[in-house]
Amino acid sequence: MTMDLSKRAMLVKSRIELRGLLGERRDQGATQHVEQQYNVAERRAKVGKFLIAQNVKSVKAVRASAQAIRQCVYQHTFAWLDTDMRLLPSKNHDTFRTEHDLAVAKHLANIESYINDYPYLVEDARHPAPRGLGELFDPSQYPPAENIKGLFKATLEYWPMPTTNNFVADIAQEAAAEAKAGMERKVREIISHSFNDLVARSEQVVAHFVTKLAEYKPAGYPAGYRDKPEGIFRDSLVDNMTDLAKLIRNLNFTDDIDIEQMAVNLERLARYTPEQLRQAHYQDERDLVGAEGKLLLTKLDQMKKVDHEITTIMDSAKDYI
């Protein structure tokens, strides 16, 4: 059956701007003073200043929520060539969009809190140490409060997967063959990278699972009585397995059977609840899933390849390339 990758995935571009935080600025006057004071050659030193204090709660919240949006995009997509676009499997779109919209909503709320604080932050900057910039304060560098909101951006653009059919129809046969070969190499690289990306994500989660489970010693452990458990773990240790299995299936835009088996193995490791794994009499079960986790890590390491076997995929994707 012919597989058209352009119907299985799309491209997304996330754009986040934090210019409203004003950021770092070079102070020319202070730089010249340092050059003269310390006999420094021109353009060998630079004095910078942050117009707004970076340790303020509302500033840190905006930066954190911006990073949360980026993390959401990276988690649900793959790299696309050497661009700032990302490949989003179509079957993962709804999950991605729900989480992305929630992250953006929180980010916008944080921006509003920062805007409310902005006049007070500017006033603080006007003061000398330890509160502000002292003589480095320049009121002309601070936009009016009503203009600050427009200096933030959090947008998401969608683009269709490109195809070469129309492109090669208008060029010479030799060039067309070269263009198709080049696209084929790129698609191979993208599929291989996507596969290895999912393997790496699984390795990280499974390795953490195996380590934390080995470190856990419940109260009353047979090797020695304990009043309290040691090396306690959170419910997320197990929940992360099932969450990752679901995400991997959504990101498996090539319907690779090895990736599907990877998801099955992750779910199998999560067959016991966190509450069960914490109980002293579940030592055999802890040992069992721990051993399975180590075996899975070995398999995952063997699966990582620079050029994953994708001949069948490429043959079925000929409408795309």
Whether residues 118 and 211 share a domain: the answer is no
Whether residues 152 and 176 share a domain: the answer is no
- Per-residue pLDDT tens digits for 183-233: 666 667 777 788 889 999 999 999 999 999 999 998 865 555 677 888 999
- From 77-81, 225-229, 255-259, 287-291, the region with the lowest mean pLDDT: 225-229
Question: 173 in a domain, yes or no?
Answer: yes
Q: Give the number of domains in the chain.
A: 2
Question: 321 in a domain, yes or no?
Answer: no
Whether residues 53 and 151 share a domain: the answer is yes
Question: 302 in a domain, yes or no?
Answer: yes
Question: 75 in a domain, yes or no?
Answer: yes
Mean of pLDDT values over 72-91:
91
Closest CA to 304 of 182, 204, 181, 186: 204
pLDDT for the residue 160:
86
Is the pTM above the cut of 0.85?
Answer: no
Sequence-separated contacts (24+) of 170-179 with Cβ below 8 Å: none
What is the average pLDDT value for the chain, to the nearest integer? 86
Whether residues 173 and 308 share a domain: the answer is yes
Whether residues 153 and 172 share a domain: the answer is no
pLDDT for the residue 169:
52
Angle made by CA atoms 288, 257, 94, in degrees to the nearest 5: 95
Closest CA to 281 of 214, 221, 200, 234: 221
Question: 210 in a domain, yes or no?
Answer: yes
Whether residues 128 and 208 share a domain: the answer is no
pLDDT above 70: residue 1: no
pLDDT above 60: residue 70: yes
Whether residues 155 and 59 share a domain: the answer is yes
Whether residues 274 and 213 share a domain: the answer is yes
Structure tokens at 151: 């200096």
Closest CA to 285 of 299, 275, 298, 300: 275
Higher-pLDDT residue of 31, 312 = 31
Percent of the chain with pLDDT over 90: 63
Higher-pLDDT residue of 53, 316 = 53
Question: 49 in a domain, yes or no?
Answer: yes
Whether residues 182 and 204 share a domain: the answer is yes
Mean of pLDDT values over 263-282:
94
Helix (H, G, I), strand (E, B) or coil at 58: helix
The string of DSSP letters for 253-277 reads TT--HHHHHHHHHHHHHT-S-HHHH
Question: 135 in a domain, yes or no?
Answer: yes
Q: Where does residue 56 rank: exposed (0-12), middle (13-18), buried (19+ CB within 10 A)?
A: middle
- From 56-60, 166-170, 202-206, 275-279, the region with the lowest mean pLDDT: 166-170
Question: 303 in a domain, yes or no?
Answer: yes
Whether residues 214 and 265 share a domain: the answer is yes
pLDDT for the residue 57:
96
Whether residues 32 and 101 share a domain: the answer is yes
* Sign (positive or negative) of CA dihedral 255, 194, 86, 178: negative
CB-CB contact of 253 with 90 (8 Å):
yes
Mean of pLDDT values over 156-184:
65
**AA identity, residue 288:** L
Range of the domain at 206: 166-316
- From 122-126, 172-176, 238-242, the region with the lowest mean pLDDT: 172-176
Whether residues 118 and 245 share a domain: the answer is no
